[in-house]
Structure formats: C-alpha cells, structure tokens
Amino acid sequence: MSDEKLYELVCRVSKEIFGKDFQHKAYFNQRLRTTGGRYMLRSHHIEINPLVFEKYGMDELVGVIKHELCHYHLHIEGKGYQHRDADFRELLKTTNSPRFCSTLIERKTRKITKRYTYMCAKCSLSYNRKIRLNTQKYRCGRCYGELKLVSSVNLK
C-alpha cells in the first residue's frame, strides 16, 4: 500500500466514522518499531507503521487509523487527547477504536544460565542473585557483615 492510498483511507475513515475532514498528511514510517502509529502534535500529521498492514491486514490498519484520528480530532478541538483523558477514552468507545494495537515485534527473552546464592557470615541472611557480585566490594544490608558465596547453580 502506498502513502497516497493510506492518505485516502485516512480521509475516508475520518469522514465516515468521525464526520469530519482530515486536513493534514498521513504516511507510513518504516522506523516505527513497537507502536502501530503516532499522531504528531506540532504538525498534526499521522504516521503509521507499515508492519500493521503487512502482518494483520486491513482491519487492524483501520483500527490504528481510528485510534490516531481520535488523538487528531480531540487535539484540534482543544479537548483531552491523551490516553489518560476521559474525552479520549469516551471517543474510543463511541467510534469502536482499539486502545492498543497488536504486537508487532516478538521480544527476545534472556535465558538465565546461572544463579548465585550468597550468605552473610555474621547474621546468616541469604541473598539470591542472577549476576555474580564482588564479595570484597559488597556487604550485608542488615548487619554489614562479610558475604560468602554459598552456591552457584547452572540452569538450562
């Protein structure tokens, strides 16, 4: 889908759903990673992540456009346009717009390969850590006693 077709779609959705004209620019922004789209406060333009259309199709794209148009029209009218504002939430409900878009990128989870257990030599308080710590540098938080490495476990 081209930027021109996106602009036509935004204008059509604005006219049909909101009953108001969209008078600024709408275009795809390849650099958006985690968000479906964004409304620019200063220029009033709308940027859309092309992954929304590629991964989820037209229905999700229209949902993101409606969400951004909620920001747009409320901001133009001088009403509460932020996610936390009652005006914004109410307009989302009346236009049946989504509050969030679907996940665009899969987040990488870091696997923990070791666990370390330290114990205070004075008060016997134990500390579990993911990362090894320098026992010469750190002390017990309760009694300021010396820490000793009790065990390190390999997890896989």
Active site members: 68
Helix, strand and coil in the chain, % to nearest 5: 35, 20, 45
Orientation of helix 3-13 relative to helix 58-77, angle to 10°: 60
How far apart are the C-alpha atoms of 10 and 98, rounded to whole Å?
16
DSSP state of 27: E
